[in-house]
Amino acid sequence: MQLRYGFRLYPNSSQRSALARAFGCARVVYNDALRVREDARAAGLPFVPPGELSKRLTVSKKTPERGWLAKVSSVVLQQSLRDLDTAYKDFFEGLKGKRPKTGPPRFKSRKDTRQSVRFTANAGWKITAGGKLRLPKVGDLAVKWSRSLPSVPSTVTVVKDSAGRYFASFVVETDPEALPATDGVLGIDLGLTHFAILSDGTKIDSPRFLRRAEKKLKKAQQDLSRKAKGSKNRAKARIKVARAHARTADARREFHHQLSTRLIRENQAVAVEDLSVKGLARTRMAKSVHDAGWSAFTAMLEYKAALYGRTFIRIGRFEPTSQVCSHCGVKDGPKPLHVRTWTCGACGAVLDRDINAAVNVAKAAGLAVSACGARVRPGLVPAQREETGTHPTAIRTSGSQAGISVL
């Protein structure tokens, strides 16, 4: 399977200028190719194939208007054309219903705060003996290696994010590493008060990274709004806001990675509910839903399960996990969100709403999970017929009878 490894880059001033030139050339080539196809569509002409766009790029590099395109690696420009083909492919497949719908390709702006270029193997890039990343017509870039690459990467993408940071993203081919088998199976119920509730009764608190950083973010946004548009101070304030958001996103991603790795290593099978995040993001809880990052977390669980030989299961979002008693299986009906514990009307079990849902998630996925993990305690059991009513005369009970022995 293919994995992507990201590392921080630290280019010097001349290398930043070279990368800025590469970003700009890739953007211009993308926009030129998109303009050619849009003009052909408006004129009623056939769709311009990728080979024709590549030929036009070669010709335009020899003209005075586009001669500066030769100052960057030709591979970067060709990859920009491939990115456009991918955007059109996703758009057409969305119209056919083969994938979620996306809008048509749009022109890129030089004011976009995120820029990227991609180098394939035939570009001649390499990792030097000194641990630097050598890119054609850019130079040797210093890399912060946080771990070693499992195999020789096929491509590297250089990204400049909104906070002005540079990253190198390597695509490598890896073989699954099966972990030792374990008997643990787990159902996970995702929430807001608690980020994850496990079927074994464990509740993991939600870090709420965005909520915790709101005060600093508010101050940074206020400083940005007071700067004159187009000024250098406004550009500095914008980067300050972007860095604050980047720190929040990095902390959230680190939390997701640590938790997902632990759950996959400790359990043979993991089941989660397929939540409608887009629908929940349109409610009054939108900020908290985005702050939790459920989709990113479940995506990590899925690919790590495939990498380590574990089983990952998604159950349907319409499964009544909060309405069914995990003890006896009787459906007790919907309940408002403020009801955190409820008593089953059939068996009298007192259930924690979230842990009960996590157990039901595991059961709906076909995992053998005991309801004892749901913190079930028996409720009051109705008395037997012979024990009801008043008894004027005390009933003698022999010590041999079942129940409480005679004192």
Is beta strand 115-120 parallel, antiparallel or unpaired with respect to 350-352? unpaired
173 is catalytic: no
The closest alpha carbon to 1, from 172, 169, 153, belongs to 172
| HEC string for the chain | CEEEEEEEEECCHHHHHHHHHHHHHHHHHHHHHHHHHHHHHHCCCCCCCHHHHHHHHHHHCCCCCCHHHHHCCHHHHHHHHHHHHHHHHHHHHHHCCCCCCCCCCCCCCCCCCCEEEEEEHHHCCEECCCCCEEECCCEEEEEECCCCCCCCCCEEEEEECCCCCEEEEEEEECCCCCCCCCCCEEEEEECCCEEEEECCCCEEECCCHHHHHHHHHHHHHHHHHCCCCCCHHHHHHHHHHHHHHHHHHHHHHHHHHHHHHHHHHHCCEEEEECCCHHHHCCCCCHHHHHHHCHHHHHHHHHHHHHHCCCEEEEECCCCCCCCECCCCCCECCCCCCCCCEEECCCCCCEEEHHHHHHHHHHHHCCCCCCHHHHCCECCCCCCCHHHCCCCCCCCCCCCCCCCCCCC
CA distances from 398 to 387, 395, 402, 403, 404 (A): 16, 10, 9, 10, 10
93 is catalytic: no
Backbone angles phi, psi at 340, to 5 degrees: -100, -25
- Which residues, in sequence order, are CB contacts of 274 under 8 Å at separation 6+? 314, 315, 316, 317
386 is catalytic: no
Catalytically annotated residue among 32, 83, 273, 302: 273
CB 360 within 8 A of CB 353: no
Catalytically annotated residue among 32, 83, 189, 302: 189
Let me know the angle formed at the C-alpha of 289 by 286 and 291, rounded to the nearest 5 degrees. 110
Active site residues: 189, 273, 354
